[in-house]
Every structure is written in C-alpha cells, then in structure tokens.
Amino acid sequence: MRDSRYFIDLEQQFGAFNYKPLDVVLHRGQGIWVWDVEGHRYLDCLAAYSAVNQGHCHPKILKTLIDQAQTLCLTSRAFRNDQLGPFYQEVCALTRSHRVLPMNSGAEAVETVIKSVRKWGYEVKGIPRDRAEVIVCAGNFHGRTLAIVGFSTDPKSRAGFGPFAPGFTVIPFGDAAALERAITPHTVAFLVEPIQGEAGVIIPPRGYLQEVRRICTAHNVVLILDEIQTGLGRTGRLLAEEHEGIEADITLVGKALSGGFYPVSAVLSTSEVLGVLRPGEHGSTFGGNPLACAVARTALRVLVEEGMIENSEKMGEFFLAGLRAIRSPLIKEVRGRGLMIGLELQPEAGGARRFCQALKERGILCKDTHEHTIRFSPPLVIQRPDIEWALDRILPVFASAGP
C-alpha cells in the first residue's frame, strides 16, 4: 500500500496550490469516522464544512446513489425527469418554500439568487436599469466566483482577482441599524449568513434576524439567508432562521443537501422572486439532474427520520459545555449553536493551525479558520460517548502551554 507521503508528493507535483491541507491522506469514512491510508482512525470534526451532516457514506443515501446511478443520471433540463418534481415537492414541504431552483455548488446558488433579485428589482420593484444594489455583510463567505469574491471583505479572497462587479454595499454583521441606513431606493436585497461560519462561527446578537426581517419587509427588500452552512440541522434546527422564528424570502441551501455524496444546491423561495426568470435566462447542465435529486431526497429524509436535527441540538449543548469547561489561558472564547462550534484562541496562542496539527496527532480532524479560531462541526450523528472521547483528547492540547 502506498503511504501518505506518496499521495502528498503527487498533489505537490501536479496540483495548484489553492489549498494548504493538513497532511492526512484519507481513504475511507463511516459515520463520524475517517481512516487514512496508513489505517489511522480520526473523528471528523469538520464534516467537509458541514456537507457531511448525515455522516460519511450514510447507508441509505449510498443505496439511493447506487440505485439511481444504475437507472438514470443525467438528462439535462432540455427534458424532464421523474426525480425533479418529487424533489421540489419534498424540499418545499420541509422548508415551507413555494418555488425551487436547483443548482450544484453553493456559489452557483448565490450567483443564481443575485441574478434573480436584480431582475426582480427591475421588473417588479421598478429600479432603473443596471442600478440594482445588494447589501452584504463584512466578514461574509458566500463562495469563490468572481461576483462573490468581489463583495468579500477578506483580502486573500479578493487580492489579484479584480476588476469586480459593481452593485454591492458592505455593512457590519450583526448591526440591524446599519442595514436600515444602507438601504436606498435601489436596494433589491440583503444577503446574509444567519451565523457567519468561515469568519469563525460569529453569532449575531439575539434579535438581529427579527430586526433584519422587519426592516427588509418595511423597505420591500428581499431577505436572502445563505444557509448553505448553517442549514439542514447544523445549528440544531432544520434552518437557523428558526432560532429567531423568522422566515427569509429566499433561503440558499447546499452542502448537506446531498449528505456529501454529490454537489447539490438550491435556491428556495417563498416569494415572487424566482417567478421573474423565463426560459433560457438561467440554467446549468447538471442542475436538477435525476441523480442529484434522488440523492437529495434521501439526504433530507434521513436527516429528519433519524432525528439528526434534535441530536445536533442536544449533542451541541453537551460538546459546547465540555469545551467551555476547559480552563486554559490560551482560550479566548467558545461559542456555538447546535453542532456549529468555534473555539477562539488568544492572539498570543500562536495561531490555530498548530493546535489543529496537535489534535490530528490525537485522532481529531479540525480546521482552523481566520488564524485564531478552531471549528468543531462533526457529523450530526455523533453521540455522547464520542464527544466524551473527543474531549479527553482535546483537553490536553489546551491544558498546558499548548502543543
């Protein structure tokens, strides 16, 4: 059997350098566990940035994938298929949406919604041509396409990639008054993550989303929640908007929509916005294909049927309490909702990456985000003994002077 070094060298020789992964070469996964090519077992505390909420290689989703792959994979939207309609119906029933537009990656869903709200702005709201504005938040992460990185505030995401598309206004996250001030007659939408994931699990003040909802309604501005990471059980609710009892006009989902088997994303609309698109104006060869729809249907079904959302809430509280109980001068704050947890280190702790390295040596895979924060977001099927096992290994990493 080839060892890790062999595979790492191949990546170094032939790949682009747009990632700097930990040097662990994974070969197999099951539930919350993954194994590397040397056979070491790890607890996956990233879950592919929340794409694997249902756990690795979930048997029911796997069966659907195989069955559907043996039946029909791709038709393009030039023809209809018998998985698309049922997928629409089920995702609408679950999320109380009225209309769906399926895509593949999360970034594509974001691009789709920006195109749609701009067109809605011109056709319905009556904004003069090419003047539509979308408001976004500092610290946002919505993907990697040109339009999206153009309104990022992360220098690494932007530098060297301009010129960028106009029409975006950036306001601070968690500040509803700033939203009200930023709205102009040309504002079509406010695009925001209910909890900022990539920024380091930043939870806005309580009541923020309710205020945002009120302001958007008052000004006829479309509220778009990017729930690509927070959605589908991650925060202990199906959608994070439920924590504040609000409903977005448009919700974006992706990642766990396929349980990690396949790229599937969707724009879910409770408003008239998607109605402005007409044949030929938008699309994707793979969007809405039968394999994607079948996989997504089962991924949603197991999430609900197997109680993963409730488990996320319970296990999240337990994990959060366990991490908060760690007494360490290195830790600045532990915050989270459900199984979306961030542990922020003191600036003098020397950065999160070496802690992730040390956790890896102890059998736990985590990812640092924005220098000083470690994210703990295991698959939602994790159980109490697994978390106790993890805490026993996490504690020594922070207990002393660090790794």
Ligand X SMILES: *Cc1c(COP(=O)(O)O)cnc(C)c1O
Structure tokens at 378: 């295991």
Q: Report in angstroms how near the CB of residue 263 gets to ligand X at its nearest.
A: 6
Binding to ligand X, residues 193-212 (CB under 6 A): 193, 197
Structure tokens at 47: 């879950």
Long-range contacts, 58-63 (Cβ 8 Å, 24+): 58/259, 58/299, 58/302, 60/298, 60/301, 60/302, 61/258, 61/259, 61/261, 61/295, 61/298, 61/299, 61/302, 62/261, 63/298
Kind and range of the H or E run holding 11: helix 4-14
Distances (CA, A) of 388 to 82, 328, 382, 399: 45, 18, 11, 16
Residue 106 in contact with ligand X, rule: CB under 6 A: yes
Does residue 119 carry a catalytic annotation? no
Q: Report in angstroms how near the CB of residue 101 gets to ligand X at its nearest.
A: 15
Does residue 332 carry a catalytic annotation? no
187 vs 258 by CB, closer to ligand X: 258
Q: Report in angstroms how near the CB of residue 196 gets to ligand X at its nearest.
A: 8
330 vs 341 by CB, closer to ligand X: 341
3-state secondary structure of 26: strand
Return the number of other C-beta atoms located less than 10 Å from residue 341's C-beta. 21
Q: Report in angstroms how near the CB of residue 372 gets to ligand X at its nearest.
A: 19
- Give the whole-angstrom CA distance, residue 253 versus residue 148: 16
127 vs 148 by CB, closer to ligand X: 148
Residue 262 in contact with ligand X, rule: CB under 6 A: no
Binding to ligand X, residues 20-49 (CB under 6 A): 49
Q: Which of 111, 175, 226, 368 binds ligand X (CB under 6 A)?
A: 226
Q: Report in angstroms how near the CB of residue 140 gets to ligand X at its nearest.
A: 8
State the number of binding residues for ligand X (CB under 6 A).
Answer: 15
Give the contact letters, 133-172, x = binds to ligand X (CB under 6 A), - = no: --------xxx-----------------------------
* Bridge pairing between strands 187-192 and 168-171: unpaired
Does residue 161 carry a catalytic annotation? no
- Give the whole-angstrom CA distance, residue 333 versus residue 343: 6
Total number of residues shown for the chain: 403
64 vs 229 by CB, closer to ligand X: 229
Q: Site residues (CB under 6 A) for ligand X?
A: 49, 105-107, 110, 141-143, 193, 197, 226, 228-229, 254-255
| Active site residue ranges | 141, 226, 255
